[in-house]
Amino acid sequence: MAHKYAQLAFTDSVRAMQQEQNSRAGYASMDQGEDYNFLLSRVEADFIGQRDSFYMASVSETDWPYVQHRGGPKGFLKVLDASTLGFADYKGNRQYVSAGNFRNNDRVSIIFVDYPNKRRLKLMGRMSQVPENDWQTLASLEDDDYRAKVERGFIIKVEAFDWNCPQHITPRYTESELESLITPITNELADVKAQLAVQLKASLKLQQQAASSNEASLPAPLLASYPQRSGEGELPLVISGIRQLTPRIRAIELKHAKDEPLPDFEAGAHLVIPVILNNGKLTHRHYSISSNPSRTDCYEIAVLNDQSDLNEQSESLNLKEQNELNNSELAESGSAIIHQHFTLGLRIDCAQPQNYFPLEQSTAPVVLIAGGIGITPIKAMALTLTSQQRDFSLHYCGRSIDEMAFSDRLSRQIGNKLHLYAAAEGNKLNVEKLLTRSPSDAHFYFCGPKKMIDQLLSIAQQLGISTNRLHFERFITTLDNTVDSTAKAFTVKLKRSQKLITVSAQESLLDAVLAQGINVPYSCKTGACKTCVVSVTKGNVIHKDECLTNTEKSNKLMCLCVSRAAQDTLELDI
């Protein structure tokens, strides 16, 4: 049996129009398989139960449709069972157009809209009025806390429904919804201010003690207040929205400071976000753009607060390693600062979006794999593939469902193409099975922590999957860039600059060169973009990048940000 919504809505004329506009192929699957969307699931029931209004269409004896707005307390439209809805018709209506229409034609079409989250559900059914003497049913439709007289009740037998495209829905918020959004932010702001006050007081006390005891130096106080503008890029952005996706992940919406359309970007692109550390130093962090690439009104990034992970992992380091970590700017989590200080209206001047992880222009099937916060570029890819009507699946791994950002939104947007693996529920992805069962020409795109990426690459190599079909991007945690137990110090000679630099085991070659005041281009700092590639004139290299080809490596090229000297000395053409 075909999809019930397609049976009712896609008439011959509609199908012909779809064919003319080249959208028919995207809906062909709705004419196959079981009639699965006849019954409401818990997802639809919860969605309807949260609505305080809907738009309802009836048809009159003149064949003219009539659309009416119905409103009431949240949940006034009751989900009685998987195929039945009901609501009380409160006193106040005097035209009775809809009620009269249903006496002649019981067909009804309803649109439910969730404006804050830009979701829309369409439903078709048949309407009947509850008999006046059916007091039990009428009582079940009443809302005890709503002061209005019930004149009649209506029952809707569901015929079909379909989740509609969220495009062009303007977010609107009720007063209570705004309060629920703002209250956590204002509370957090108050907590941060209180913490800063305590820290400043303690710092001033230490300085006074130092002055009285003639101590030469003490740590500088923390940044008293975060600047309302940072960065030196050519793209002026302001924070226009903040949402808490999970306990540790926050979504930040960015719009053009002059309310202009933003530059186009493709799935996989990222922004380099300027962040001011507590010591006042400007640094940068890279965040993938997770929003739909078809939108130019705003960008969305999702930021995982990894400060707790840093604290936990640093406990496993020896004393020397902890001191080296604490004395570096990496001891300050950029994500924690973003969570603490990035507020509505903050101005950040960024560079244009950059993309080192693009989707290939191909018609081959695609398998998307995301681990944790690695979902951010993968989400944008899923939305692009959906708009292109490409064959794809998305496999999303995380600690628990509660910590998997965008899982609910993706389930609505891509449906059964999404597969969730929550470790807390004992549901883990079998990588070998997934790679083995995927189409032989499939391209794999994966983003996540180092351990996951390494496992995928290893199994793919064992299965003989061509590297041309493997596309990946690691997200780098603070500690990933900090202590490498195998790293050794070495000396590098800069041929053109005639400088000799010692690179310690705890710093990258790029950082050592920059510290000498030598401006070399760089971007990702993870060995993914080739921006910092230089020529090696003498010596051998331990390559740790993931962007250079074997030919480029044999031609004596290296990435300054991650690769190191294989021996004690190295000479570069800088």
309 contacts 330 by C-beta, under 8 angstroms: no
Type of residue numbered 211: A
Structure tokens at 43: 């997802």
**Other residues' Cβ atoms within 10 Å of the Cβ of residue 202:** 12
> What is the structure's pLDDT at 476?
58
Average pLDDT, stretch 397-416? 95
The answer to pTM > 0.75 is no
Residue 315: predicted pLDDT: 41
Domains, in order of start, for the chain: 37-164 (2.30.110.10), 182-350 (2.40.30.10), 366-474 (3.40.50.80), 484-572 (3.10.20.30)
Read off the pLDDT band of 341 (50, 70, 90).
very high
Which tokens is 492 given?
């590098």
% of residues, the chain, pLDDT over 70: 88
Mean pLDDT computed over 226-231: 91
Question: Residue 216: pLDDT band by 50, 70, 90 thresholds?
Answer: very low
pLDDT at 179: 85
- C-alpha 416/C-alpha 314 separation (Å) is 40
Give the mean model confidence (pLDDT) for residues 35-57: 88
Q: Which own/partner pairs from 66-74 qualify as long-range (CB within 8 Å, at least 24 positions apart)?
A: 66/97, 66/98, 66/101, 68/97, 68/98, 72/143, 72/146, 72/148, 73/143, 73/145, 73/146, 74/49, 74/50
pLDDT at res. 320: 41
State both tokens at 227.
């600047």
The stretch 292-305 carries a mean pLDDT of 95
Q: Average pLDDT of 297-302?
A: 96
The whole-number average pLDDT for the span 473-498 is 73
Over residues 51-69, the pLDDT tens digits come to 999 999 999 999 999 999 9
Asked if pLDDT for residue 515 goes beyond 60, the answer is: yes
CB 303 within 8 A of CB 287: yes
Give the distance, in angstroms, between the CA of residue 511 and the centroid of all CA atoms in the same chain. Answer: 30
With beta carbons less than 8 A apart as the criterion, state whether 316 and 264 touch: no
Q: Could you tell me the pLDDT band of residue 207, with boundaries at 50, 70 and 90? A: low
User: Mean per-residue pLDDT for 551-567?
Assistant: 92
Cβ neighbours for 139, distance < 8 A, ≥ 6 positions apart? none
Write down the pLDDT at residue 323.
44
What's the mean pLDDT in 432-452? 95
Q: In terms of C-beta density within 10 A (0-12 exposed, 13-18 middle, 19 or more buried), how is residue 517 classed? A: exposed
pLDDT at position 196, please? Answer: 77
For residue 4, the model assigns a pLDDT of 84
pLDDT of residue 187: 86
Residue 174 pLDDT grade (very low, low, confident, very high; cuts 50, 70, 90): confident
- For residues 167 and 169, the model is more confident at 169
Bridge partners for 249 per DSSP: 304
